[in-house]
Structure 1
Amino acid sequence: MKNNHLLISVFTFLLAAFFNVASPQAQTIKLLGGNTLNGAVNGTILGGATMALQNSNDFDPLRVGLGGGTLYGLTVGIYDISEASKGQQYYVSGTFNDGDNSTILVLLDTFYGAAGGAVIATSFNLIANRSIEEGLQYGAGIGAWAGFGFGLVDAFVLAERAGDFQSSASGAAPPRSGLLTIRDNQSGYLIGLISPSAYKLPEMDNDDISIRVATAIDFVNLQIQL
């Protein structure tokens, strides 16, 4: 059993090292895999939002969302690969967040929309003395779809990519890092407030290795450019 755990640990280390190699092949795999995974998660969330709006226990929207989201992520991965400069790190800066692929911006904007919709709808229901559960359910469902729609515009119309930064002046402002960003270009620091994030975490259970996607909200994000 100890040998199995050792082999799993070594395999996980080599896998992580492989995906972080600074080579065109590794960059291609990273963009394709990251976008596909984000797309699958995004599609599943939208499937759940559809179930909430339909007030249904039918899991067909989840199935369709997972399949459609996977194909969407794969397509965006191919797009990102075509946009990436050979030998350079791919980078996307959106309205509220930055990432190393396009679908992460859409995914995080979907989270923003779901959370914001739930809060707004629940607030109205509290004022009207109506069901809080309904406010959460329908608000999150509508907000998730609205956030997804904005995320597509954010990622493919409004966002700046690595090439945009390289072609701009060297003194360009640092990227955004949250709903509220405080920056000082002279001293080189940036403080981002309330920034949702998505993390891909490897998990080991006996002889199985899986990837778990965890979401979190960074209330304060400090960056210092030396």
Structure 2
Amino acid sequence: MSKLPSASEQVYREVKERILSATLPGGELISEGEIATEMGTSRTPVREAFLRLEAEGWMRLYPKRGALIVPVADGETEHVLSARRLVESDAARTVVRASEGVRAQLTTALRANLDAQRAAAEAGDVAEFSGLDADFHGLIVRAGGNPLLTAFYVSLRERQRRMTARSLARDPRQLQSIIDDHTMLAGLIESGEAARFEEAVDAHMRRVHGLPPSDGDGAR
């Protein structure tokens, strides 16, 4: 029989989802009491959840004041994007060198994900969309077939989700431009253009997260 999550686990999942979806933005101060009241529980499971979130680096606890949602650190976006670009570009090159069947299978999965992205965008569901965005890029990495790189990329997924949700909160019009970029990236995979994919995914990530173009981007 399946075991229902504890109250602490429920609070942890809910508050973490709010952080990752940017519903609770970096810099916001929340209290145990308000979360306990909202979720209909005592303060003890909330305190346990907060301690867990602090250990993971999402919160900073201040006795008698509350919990601060830790903002994205200076330079973190650039570092995450650099790591993602290297791993994803390597996976794309591997897929392109593989059989047409491997490439076709990945393209089919990417287009199914794009359909779900369009549905989430139409519904205005930013939390769902940011998860699908991370999954889109994750599909490419997994198709590369390197379990070590896949595990590393998965470790970046939560940071990626949060960064995307934060960017969409600043400018919801990016929903459609992200879908357009993803459609182009899927097409480059399908046509076997690994070099163009590497350039395009770098430019795409920088646009989404408000970073200046890297050297040479201006010509694209």
Instruction: Tell me the TM-score normalised to structure 2 length.
Output: 0.32
The structure with higher relative contact order (CA 8 Å, sep 6+) is: 2
Higher strand share: 1
Instruction: Tell me the TM-score normalised to structure 1 length.
Output: 0.32
Higher helix share: 2
